[in-house]
């Protein structure tokens, strides 16, 4: 084999010892040319696993890393070619998402000739100088090869310097994806960029380099419309719509902003806000109400829909049929509305799915359960007339012992079914809870019946068989009871309970020998519980009662008693020396006990047709264990004021209760009860903690083949047709009878309030009554209740009409969705010391209230220097730094959280669960010792005080 390069100069072991974690460089001269050489970057590091066992430096083991001088990555969805200056016009091709090692590049000397191939059907060319000390984000200008007017294209370059090599990533800050089928134009920095409707690949978009780090906005134009209002492209995970007005109509365009797998590019997708999808077996025709133009939609086709008026009504018919068009509203959520065509064609269903960035109207084939009602006349001789209540006359009649599937004659009309039997006229609506848990039990317990006249009586009951709601009208009480028996709640046949007193999770970075965070799930303080009935479960007493009993019990126990004692409170209570067999004596004897609520409790029970799950987390606290943390307590529940809790039993922080049942004789899940209750919480984040999480989760690099696969998935997702974009969830269907999740609406509101200043579709422009909202959002449910599966089943058996529970809304002091990446693009953590020091000083001055918190946070947004970070993605944490605006956003979040907390703060101070873990010189992670942790923390505090005094 012919040798291409000569041997390089050797490396001594002495050089390795003196240059640990530093760069040693060697050159291998080319055999053929004196102008070319192979450059090897050498970085020796100590082997940390065995170094601690060595006593002599000559015994230390080393790992020697060999790197190419430059790694070039193509993060564009287009091919590029590159050639080194003086390489005789020899170009190498770099495919989309791929990397290339450049072994003969010399910093501050080598130039790259780059070509971007087949972008907008043209080739583009640029010259890039490989330099040291480049900013993290810079730009290189490409010029069109074939055009005479020298059209310019700014492409971003992200540079990372490590001890071993320089990584150059060619990328575009934004990929603009046009799925509207219309010509789009983007205006930014006074420049219009056209995006053709038939161009399937993404348009490479960037703000001009001189304006890149500013608070940039873009405006959109559709076909012949005017420019839209300005909107931001930087809030990852943001979904919304943009309106462009024209003389004919308003164009509504949906906008979705996602993060790429490699994080330094935003994928901005533009779709029609209104889309119509045909998944039925017929070719359909649709038209906007008041318009004569009918638009055909064939099977499995999805088309853009651009309404010309605000009526929000759509006409639909089957092509080449005599069936009159059906009219539907498309401005309201619609789930499985059945449109009756005729006896030959049957029917089709329509779903209207409303989101912030789209309205998708989907037509599909009829399926079992699609009809709102199956009416069954189970009477001997009564004729039942029925029809939609908004119609002037009843539509039809149902003979005895007959059944009929019914759907609305006028889909845009009222959703009430009027029925008449004898002299009695009633109305039914699918939204009313007419299930056995309410109506049937009323009938059985109270014998309420529907009297037709003085002699005849019929019963009405509504229940599900699979997905189909059945309305049964019968004159036989035995049939009524049988219907109830078939679906009534069942007592558990098997029960599993897991209860843990305390749980702790320690996140330790063994490379840096640092405990990053401690997550503790803890049990409650002492609670007193009662057991009103023999078969009932123990239930906590109110906080007021518990405090009184606990004080009396402590006073009693301090006297080392040998006999029982009667305590006169609201009723006489008998205390015992050993704490066993205690009871309330008046007005009835009720057993009581002294106990605690577990940190984590999971209950699972099952029977032949029913399963139930309950999960309770009493208290969870996340601590920032990094020395000198701005916010030592990252997350913790806030105790409501005494005025709220005194008359209520202690509540867990999170309580989830689910009761599931097989609906009728089908396999469809019937969720009879689903409720999630979350109490008020506080969330405080600082950059030091976020960066530590980055290092914790991203120490091991993703392999190049994995990166390439993720990049290819990004590109493939851009090729999705509208049918895929508009597709709805096709997972197993479930029925929800009672569904409540307490603070979901609030979390969104706080996200918009704190971090959503430029979020698309932002519905909140200012703060209104936030402190009052806290009370309504969190204190009501604290005073209310969430039913466990056993209480729910007991409630049904006793014939309760309603389920008890409080409504919960917004969040105060906590909770936001800090999105995946909040700046223009980045990937390394570089922060200058001056900025760090100024930030620490600013953040350590705690805001006195809401106004100062928001004001201070807002100042961070307009600062333009230094660096800050952004999230790399779920599971990876934060990686990267660009400009201070992003840091301002995070700091603003922290300050605003505190400001809001000050407004509503009535909770007790949070106490640390335990000091950070202590590491010995060997760095080995050992079982936690409180004594070591406490001593280490005391020494660190003294050292910090000494340093401050010295400064």
- Give the range with max mean pLDDT: 794-803, 827-836, 937-946: 937-946
pLDDT at 832: 41
Angle, CA of 240, 242 and 245, to the nearest 5°: 160
Q: Which contacts (CB < 8 Å, 24+ apart) does range 766-772 have?
A: 767/850, 767/854, 770/810, 770/812, 770/850, 770/900, 770/903, 770/904, 771/812, 771/850, 771/903, 771/904
Q: Region 110-116: what's the mean pLDDT?
A: 92
For residue 112, pLDDT over 80 is answered with yes
Q: What is the dihedral of CA 193, 153, 725, 196, to 10 degrees?
A: 40
pLDDT band, residue 187 (cuts 50/70/90): very high
Q: Choose the weakest-confidence range: 286-290, 359-363, 641-645.
A: 641-645
Phi/psi at 627 (5° precision): -60, 140
Kindly report the length of the chain: 951
Q: What is the residue whose two structure tokens read 């009554």?
A: 769
For residue 730, pLDDT over 70 is answered with no
pTM for the complete prediction?
0.71
CB atoms within 10 A of CB 886: 25
- Is residue 709 classed as helix, strand or coil in its secondary structure? helix
The residue with greater pLDDT, 528 or 163, is: 528
Predicted confidence (pLDDT) per residue in 405-461, tens digit: 999 999 988 889 998 888 888 888 875 544 333 333 333 333 334 555 555 778 888
DSSP conformational letter for 300 = T
pLDDT at 28: 84
Q: Region 42-54: what's the mean pLDDT?
A: 70
- Is residue 812 classed as helix, strand or coil in its secondary structure? coil
Predicted confidence (pLDDT) per residue in 572-619, tens digit: 899 998 889 999 987 788 999 999 999 999 999 888 778 889 999 999
- Is residue 350 classed as helix, strand or coil in its secondary structure? strand
Beta strand pairing status for 219-222 and 137-144?
unpaired
Q: Region 907-933: what's the mean pLDDT?
A: 82
Q: Choose the weakest-confidence range: 388-397, 585-594, 940-949.
A: 940-949
Predicted confidence (pLDDT) per residue in 861-909, tens digit: 333 333 333 333 323 222 222 222 333 333 333 344 444 444 444 335 7
* Structure tokens given for 392: 């002037």
DSSP string, 817-885: ---S--SSS-------HHHHHHHHHHHHS--SSHHHHHHHHHHHHH--SS----EEETTTEE-----HH
Beta strand pairing status for 37-46 and 24-29?
antiparallel
Beta strand pairing status for 166-171 and 152-161?
antiparallel
Q: Choose the weakest-confidence range: 307-321, 601-615, 920-934.
A: 920-934
- As a whole number of angstroms, the distance between CA 60 and CA 809 comes to 60
Q: Choose the weakest-confidence range: 12-16, 204-208, 598-602, 822-826.
A: 822-826
Do 270 and 180 form a contact (C-beta atoms < 8 A)?
yes
- As a whole number of angstroms, the distance between CA 187 and CA 229 comes to 11
DSSP string, 59-111: G--EEEEEEESEEEEE-SSS-EEEEETTSTT--EEE-TT-EEEETT--TTT-E
Q: Region 146-169: what's the mean pLDDT?
A: 86
For residue 109, pLDDT over 70 is answered with yes
pLDDT at 442: 38
CA distance from start to end of the chain:
64
The residue with greater pLDDT, 864 or 531, is: 531
- As a whole number of angstroms, the distance between CA 469 and CA 542 comes to 42
- Is residue 438 classed as helix, strand or coil in its secondary structure? helix
Longest alpha-carbon distance in the chain: 115
pLDDT at 698: 65
Q: Region 31-59: what's the mean pLDDT?
A: 72
pLDDT at 880: 27
pLDDT band, residue 253 (cuts 50/70/90): very high
pLDDT at 942: 57
For residue 853, pLDDT over 70 is answered with no
Do 302 and 723 form a contact (C-beta atoms < 8 A)?
yes
pLDDT at 720: 80
- Whether a cis peptide bond, with omega within 30° of 0, leads into 234 is no
Beta strand pairing status for 80-84 and 111-119?
antiparallel
* Structure tokens given for 334: 């619609």
- As a whole number of angstroms, the distance between CA 951 and CA 948 comes to 5
pLDDT at 898: 44
- Mean pLDDT for the chain? 75
Return the percentage of the chain with pLDDT > 70, whole number: 72
Q: Is 390 left (phi over 0), alpha (psi -120 to 50) or beta?
A: alpha
Q: Region 258-267: what's the mean pLDDT?
A: 88
For residue 350, pLDDT over 90 is answered with yes
Do 673 and 737 form a contact (C-beta atoms < 8 A)?
yes
For residue 810, pLDDT over 80 is answered with no
Do 473 and 378 form a contact (C-beta atoms < 8 A)?
yes
For residue 69, pLDDT over 60 is answered with yes
Angle, CA of 512, 517 and 518, to the nearest 5°: 130
């Amino acid at each position: 084999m012919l040798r291409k390069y000569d041997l390089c100069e050797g490396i001594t072991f002495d050089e390795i010892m003196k240059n640990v974690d530093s760069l040693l460089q060697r050159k291998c001269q080319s055999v053929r040319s004196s102008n070319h050489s192979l450059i090897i970057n050498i970085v020796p590091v100590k082997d940390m696993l065995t170094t601690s066992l060595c006593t002599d430096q000559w015994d230390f083991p080393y790992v020697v890393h060999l790197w190419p001088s430059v790694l070039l990555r193509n993060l564009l969805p287009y091919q590029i070619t590159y050639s080194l200056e003086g390489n005789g016009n020899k170009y190498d091709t770099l495919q989309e998402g791929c990397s290339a090692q450049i072994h003969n590049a010399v910093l501050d000397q080598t130039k790259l000739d780059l070509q971007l191939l087949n972008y907008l059907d043209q080739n583009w060319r640029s010259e890039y100088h490989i330099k040291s000390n480049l900013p993290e984000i810079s730009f290189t200008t490409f010029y069109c090869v074939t055009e005479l007017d020298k059209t310019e294209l700014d492409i971003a370059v992200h540079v990372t310097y490590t001890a071993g090599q320089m990584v150059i990533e060619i990328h575009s800050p934004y990929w603009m994806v046009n799925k509207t089928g219309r010509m789009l134009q983007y205006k930014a920095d006074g420049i219009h960029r056209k995006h053709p409707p038939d161009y399937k690949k993404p348009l490479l978009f960037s703000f001009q380099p001189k304006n890149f780090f500013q608070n940039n906005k873009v405006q959109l134009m559709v076909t012949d419309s005017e420019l839209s209002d300005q909107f931001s492209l930087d809030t990852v995970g943001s979904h919304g719509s943009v309106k462009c007005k024209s003389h004919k109509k308003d164009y509504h365009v949906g906008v979705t902003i996602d993060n790429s797998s490699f994080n330094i590019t935003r994928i901005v997708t533009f779709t029609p806000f209104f889309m119509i999808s045909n998944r039925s077996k017929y070719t359909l025709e649709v038209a906007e109400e008041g318009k004569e133009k009918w638009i055909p939609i064939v099977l499995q086709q999805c088309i853009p829909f651009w309404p010309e008026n605000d009526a929000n009504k759509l006409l639909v018919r089957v092509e080449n049929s005599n069936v009159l068009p059906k009219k539907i509203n498309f401005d309201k959520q619609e789930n499985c509305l059945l449109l009756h065509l005729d006896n030959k064609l049957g029917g089709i269903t329509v779903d209207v799915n409303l989101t912030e960035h789209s309205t998708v109207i989907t037509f599909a084939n009829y399926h079992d359960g699609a009809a709102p009602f199956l009416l069954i006349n189970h009477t001997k001789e009564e004729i039942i007339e029925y029809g939609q209540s908004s119609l002037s006359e009843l539509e039809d009649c149902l003979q005895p012992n007959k059944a009929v599937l019914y759907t609305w004659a006028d889909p845009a009309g009222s959703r009430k079914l009027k029925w008449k039997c004898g002299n009695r006229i009633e109305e039914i609506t699918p939204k009313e809870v007419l299930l056995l848990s309410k109506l049937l039990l009323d009938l059985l317990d109270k014998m309420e019946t529907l009297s037709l006249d003085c002699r005849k009586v019929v019963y009405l009951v509504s229940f599900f068989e699979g997905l189909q709601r059945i309305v049964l009208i019968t004159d036989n009480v035995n049939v009524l009871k049988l219907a109830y028996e078939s679906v009534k709640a069942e007592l558990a046949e098997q029960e599993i309970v897991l209860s843990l007193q305390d749980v702790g999770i320690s996140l330790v970075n063994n490379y840096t020998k640092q405990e990053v965070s401690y997550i503790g799930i803890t049990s409650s303080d002492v609670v007193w519980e009662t057991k009103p009935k023999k078969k009932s479960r123990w239930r906590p007493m109110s906080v007021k009662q518990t405090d009184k009993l606990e004080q009396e019990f402590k006073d009693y126990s301090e006297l080392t008693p040998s006999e029982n004692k009667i305590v006169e409170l609201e009723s006489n209570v008998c205390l015992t020396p050993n704490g066993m067999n205690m009871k309330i004596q008046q007005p009835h004897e009720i057993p009581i006990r002294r106990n605690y609520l577990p940190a984590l409790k999971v209950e699972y029970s099952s029977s032949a047709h029913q399963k139930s799950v309950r999960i309770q987390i009493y208290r969870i606290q996340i601590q920032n264990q990094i020395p000198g943390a701005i916010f030592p307590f990252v997350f913790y529940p806030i105790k409501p004021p005494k005025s709220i809790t005194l008359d209520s039993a202690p509540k867990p922080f999170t309580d989830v209760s689910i009761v599931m049942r097989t609906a009728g004789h089908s396999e469809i899940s019937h969720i009879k009860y689903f409720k999630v209750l979350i109490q008020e919480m506080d969330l405080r984040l600082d950059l030091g903690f976020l960066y530590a999480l980055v290092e914790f989760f991203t120490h091991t690099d993703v392999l190049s083949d994995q990166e390439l696969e993720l990049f290819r998935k990004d590109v493939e997702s851009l090729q999705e047709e509208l049918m895929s974009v508009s597709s709805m969830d096709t997972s197993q269907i479930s029925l929800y009878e009672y569904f409540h999740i307490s603070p979901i609406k609030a979390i969104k509101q706080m996200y918009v309030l704190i971090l959503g200043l430029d979020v698309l579709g932002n519905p909140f422009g200012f703060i209104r009554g936030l402190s009052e909202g806290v009370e309504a959002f969190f204190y009501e449910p604290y005073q209310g209740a969430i039913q466990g599966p056993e209480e729910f089943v007991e409630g049904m058996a006793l014939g309760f009409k309603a389920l008890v529970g409080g409504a919960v809304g917004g969040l105060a002091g906590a909770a936001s969705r800090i999105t995946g990446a909040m700046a223009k693009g980045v990937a390394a953590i570089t922060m200058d010391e001056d900025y760090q020091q100024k930030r620490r000083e600013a953040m350590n001055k705690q805001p006195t209230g809401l106004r100062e918190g928001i004001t201070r946070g807002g100042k961070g947004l307009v600062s333009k220097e230094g660096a800050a970070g952004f999230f790399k993605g779920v599971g990876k944490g934060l990686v990267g730094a660009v400009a201070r605006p992003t840091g301002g956003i995070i700091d603003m979040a922290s300050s605003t959280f505190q400001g809001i907390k000050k407004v509503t703060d009535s909770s007790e101070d949070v106490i640390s669960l335990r000091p950070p873990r202590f590491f010995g010189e060997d760095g080995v992670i050992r079982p936690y010792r409180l004594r070591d942790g406490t001593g280490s923390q005391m020494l660190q505090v003294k050292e910090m005080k000494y340093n401050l005094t010295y400064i």
